[in-house]
Amino acid sequence: MAESNFDTRIDYYPTHEHEGIKYRRGHVLPFGATMVPNGVNFSIYSSAAISCTLVLFEKGADQPYAEITFPEEFRIGNTYSMIVFDLDFETLEYGYRMDGPFEPEAGHRFDKTKILSDPYAKAIGGRDKWLAPPNWDNIYPHRSRLVFEDFDWESDMPLETPIEDLIVYEGHVRGFTQHESSGVKNKGTFAGIREKIPYLLDLGINCLELMPIYEFDEYEHSKTNPETGELLINYWGYSTLNFFAPKSGYAATGKFGMQVDELKTLIKDLHKNGIEVLLDVVFNHTAEGDHRGPTISFKGIDNNTYYMLTPEGYYFNFSGTGNTLNCNHPVVRSMVLDCLRYWASEYHIDGFRFDLAAILGRAQDGSPLNNPPLLESLAHDPVLAKCKLIAEAWDAGGLYQVGSFPAYGRWAEWNGKYRDTIRRFLKGEEGLIGELSQRLQGSPDLYSTRGTAAGINFITCHDGFTLYDLFSYNEKHNEANGENNNDGNNDNFSWNCGCEGETDDAGINILRHRQIKNALSILMVSQGIPMILMGDEMGRTKYGNNNTYCHDNDLNWLNWSLIDKNADIYYFARHIINFRRNHAVLRNRDHFRNADYKGTGYPDISFHGTQAWNADWSESSRVLAIMLDGGHAKNGYATDDTVYFAINMHWEALPFELPHLPQDKSWYVSVNTDMPSPYDFHELNNEPVLENQYSCILGPRSVVILLGK
């Protein structure tokens, strides 16, 4: 069809005018603000509003330049839609006023004096630059904006790496490069991460999981620490203002409104380098808090639809933050689905980690559902079909679903039991060998029908101690958070190795480094998907603070000089990550069969101890060795070396008798954490042959990894 024929469509021209602004009836779908020929189509839903007004601002202006009430004939069902012509896409800011009842006991909190942000806005203005002082008198602080959705992806597409091959690196956009030592030009931004892609490649990870990047207000609940005078803010960002908009303050170009392009450029470059991008998404609550919180968007548009409310009209608080998004209401469900489809298609996101995902399985009255429609919809969605879906399978309301999260054959989950078992074992607790063996095998006790890839194995994450602090502190030290050390988890299963905090004691520091290497080794030889916390590869410390959600300082900024200070840890981490990537036998998707189904003469997995073929499962045991037969790699679909790893968490050295290999093969040493650097590991494909092929001494609290080849 010729271009000119489009121009003859009559819906490209206005039918109405209000104070010089021209408009006409709009299209109901899609919701949000969509660029159309000659104008912008606005569409919004409210089940109980009696009228709706579109409010238009020039970027940054104190007052709107126009307010257009939707004519009644523009309402279809519970939706209001309108096309407004001749708007400047770059300088427009828009919002809505909703008129309706203020009857909290009935769930309604309409207030037409408030200007409300569009739940489907693709960008939000107001926090354009990180921590720039806001105008507290702004009548509309978080303003909806338009974005161009014409990014040139060239041939890029989501990588679709098999999930069992992922090695996830959990990072925070600002924290990764904000520290002076990062050396990047645009610190604390998407562009800064892009400059560090060579580092991520060198480390060997192939998946970057970003802590929340949906627009949030870093000033939410900000306060001053009474002791230090320091400003405490919403640094982590687990409090969403809008689910479709990337955080402007994380973009060096946010001040120009180009955060969308900057983020997409980062994702495109990560993909070019074989690194997937997962987003940590927070659909369990919003930034509007409870009945005392601000009215920003959802609360004033349709409180009763978007939030789980008590019979009295107060907010259920399964998130621990004041409100709970009503995820299994059909309208909210659609919004979540629209949102994730948008990120998967428009941003080429490879997968999502859902914060407090147990909430997504609750009914509108808060009770857990047997067959939660939202989780089922996400699992079977055609656009999300290749995306990783990962649940944090618990919530603050006491629903704990690790191992029982409704998975529909698709969902994986953070394996909190892995974290706890490995931590307890590493600190020397006894009676854990049986459970340890389950965790090392990919937790078949939890995921018997779901395979090893159902579990994201981690020992540390943003919540809790760093790996260095796990072996440097017995107790949390959260005084800097200004809550009298009452916040943060008390069950850390940590051990300070003999001194609380920093010490000059060489023996303790050696032990701490060894324990870090032990932890990294265990994580990387476990079946399931390993995740490491940003900086753990270089011995990052938060000085015993296990809940640094509010600090925009060294507690959260990665200090890159640690690579030099803890070079032995960094080199070891790099080795063990690449060891995993190099050995398919560590990355099965299905569980072991404990059988020789390939006829190699060895079962796919076998258990050993100080005696070969005879693991010590007793209560007092602190040792376990596992041999993975290379002939059964990738569930028998690949061939690899045989991997034998032995773990001794006893405080004394112990000899381990080794299983015999076929005559044409020998044992080679890849890792021995008891050895000082640089002898703690040997380069890939350059491992020395083990001197004594029948036995191996494991030093106190150490790990040995051998290759049979």
Partner 1 sequence: MSFTISSEISNKVAILTLGGSLDSSSASDFQSEIQKVAGESPSEMVLQVSELTFMASAGLRMIVFAKQKLGPSVQIYLVKPQDQIIDTLQMTGFIHSVHIVDKYPV
Between 152 and 504, name the residue whose CB sits nearer to partner 1.
152
* Of the candidate residues 19, 137, 150, 227, the single one contacting partner 1 (CB under 8 A): 150
* Of the candidate residues 3, 19, 73, 88, the single one contacting partner 1 (CB under 8 A): 88
Phi and psi dihedrals of 579, rounded to 5? -60, -45
- In one letter, which amino acid is 258? M
Spell 580-608 as b/e; 16+ CB within 10 A means b: bbebbbbbbbbbbeeeeebebebbbbbbb
Between 58 and 554, name the residue whose CB sits nearer to partner 1.
58
Binding piece for partner 1, criterion CB under 8 A, among 183-191, 205-213, 221-229, 455-463:
183-191
Q: Which residues ranging from 620 to 659 are in contact with partner 1 (CB under 8 A)?
A: none
Shortest separation between residue 87's beta carbon and partner 1, angstroms? 10
Binding pattern for the stretch 537-566 against partner 1, x by CB under 8 A and - elsewhere? ------------------------------
Q: Tell me whether strands 642-648 and 623-628 are parallel, antiparallel or unpaired.
A: antiparallel
Between 195 and 604, name the residue whose CB sits nearer to partner 1.
195
Spell 400-434 as b/e; 16+ CB within 10 A means b: ebbbebbbeebbbbbbbbbbbbbbbbbbeeeebbe
Spatial neighbors of 298 by CB under 8 A, at least 6 apart, are 119, 286, 288, 306, 307
Binding pattern for the stretch 344-383 against partner 1, x by CB under 8 A and - elsewhere? ----------------------------------------
Spell 300-324 as b/e; 16+ CB within 10 A means b: bbbbbbbbbbeeebebbbbbebbbb
* Of the candidate residues 47, 69, 91, 222, the single one contacting partner 1 (CB under 8 A): 91
Cα–Cα nearest to 306, from 47, 121, 70, 96: 47
Shortest separation between residue 184's beta carbon and partner 1, angstroms? 11
Between 57 and 602, name the residue whose CB sits nearer to partner 1.
57
Nearest-angstrom CA–CA distance, 344 and 276: 12
- In one letter, which amino acid is 29? L
Shortest separation between residue 177's beta carbon and partner 1, angstroms? 13
End-to-end CA distance of the chain: 65
Q: Which residues ranging from 247 to 286 are in contact with partner 1 (CB under 8 A)?
A: 251-253, 256-258, 261-262, 264-265, 268-269
Between 46 and 177, name the residue whose CB sits nearer to partner 1.
177
Between 258 and 586, name the residue whose CB sits nearer to partner 1.
258
Q: Would you give the distance in Å from CA 194 to the centre of its chain?
A: 18
Binding piece for partner 1, criterion CB under 8 A, among 189-197, 297-305, 517-525, 692-700:
189-197
* Of the candidate residues 86, 90, 619, 652, the single one contacting partner 1 (CB under 8 A): 90
Between 170 and 262, name the residue whose CB sits nearer to partner 1.
262
Question: Alpha-carbon Rg of the chain, whole angstroms?
Answer: 27
User: What are the helix (H) ranges across 404-505?
Assistant: 416-426, 433-440, 467-470
Shortest separation between residue 154's beta carbon and partner 1, angstroms? 8
Residue 148 contacts partner 1 per CB under 8 A? yes
Shortest separation between residue 186's beta carbon and partner 1, angstroms? 7
Between 266 and 584, name the residue whose CB sits nearer to partner 1.
266
Binding pattern for the stretch 43-82 against partner 1, x by CB under 8 A and - elsewhere? ----------------------------------------
Shortest separation between residue 121's beta carbon and partner 1, angstroms? 16
Shortest separation between residue 55's beta carbon and partner 1, angstroms? 20
Which amino acids are annotated catalytic? 355, 392
Residue 89 contacts partner 1 per CB under 8 A? yes
361-364-368 Cα angle (round to 5): 35
56 and 64 in contact (C-beta within 8 Å)? yes
189 and 171 in contact (C-beta within 8 Å)? no
Q: How many helices (H) and strands (E) does the chain have?
A: 15, 30
Q: CB-hemisphere CA count at 13 Å for 122?
A: 24
Shortest separation between residue 502's beta carbon and partner 1, angstroms? 38
* Residue 69: its H or E element: strand 66-69
Dihedral through CA 374, CA 375, CA 381, CA 384, nearest 10? Answer: 120
Residue 84 contacts partner 1 per CB under 8 A? no
Phi and psi dihedrals of 122, rounded to 5? -95, -10
* Residue 647: its H or E element: strand 642-648
Q: Is 509 helix (H, G, I), strand (E, B) or coil?
A: helix
* Residue 201: its H or E element: helix 197-203
174 and 250 in contact (C-beta within 8 Å)? yes
Q: Tell me whether strands 207-210 and 276-281 are parallel, antiparallel or unpaired.
A: parallel
Binding piece for partner 1, criterion CB under 8 A, among 169-177, 200-208, 245-253, 418-426:
245-253
* Of the candidate residues 31, 151, 243, 656, the single one contacting partner 1 (CB under 8 A): 151
Shortest separation between residue 617's beta carbon and partner 1, angstroms? 56
Binding pattern for the stretch 301-340 against partner 1, x by CB under 8 A and - elsewhere? ----------------------------------------
Q: Tell me whether strands 412-414 and 455-458 are parallel, antiparallel or unpaired.
A: parallel
In order, the DSSP letters of 569-620 are HHHHHHHHHHHHHH-GGG--SSPP-SS-TT-SSS-SEEEESSBTTB---STT
Between 343 and 425, name the residue whose CB sits nearer to partner 1.
343
Shortest separation between residue 47's beta carbon and partner 1, angstroms? 35
Binding piece for partner 1, criterion CB under 8 A, among 145-153, 439-447, 456-464, 595-603:
145-153
Shortest separation between residue 37's beta carbon and partner 1, angstroms? 14
Q: How many residues bind partner 1 (CB under 8 A)?
A: 26
Binding piece for partner 1, criterion CB under 8 A, among 108-116, 147-155, 454-462, 501-509:
147-155
Q: Which residues of the chain form contacts with partner 1 (CB under 8 A)?
A: 88-91, 148, 150-152, 185-186, 189-191, 194, 251-253, 256-258, 261-262, 264-265, 268-269
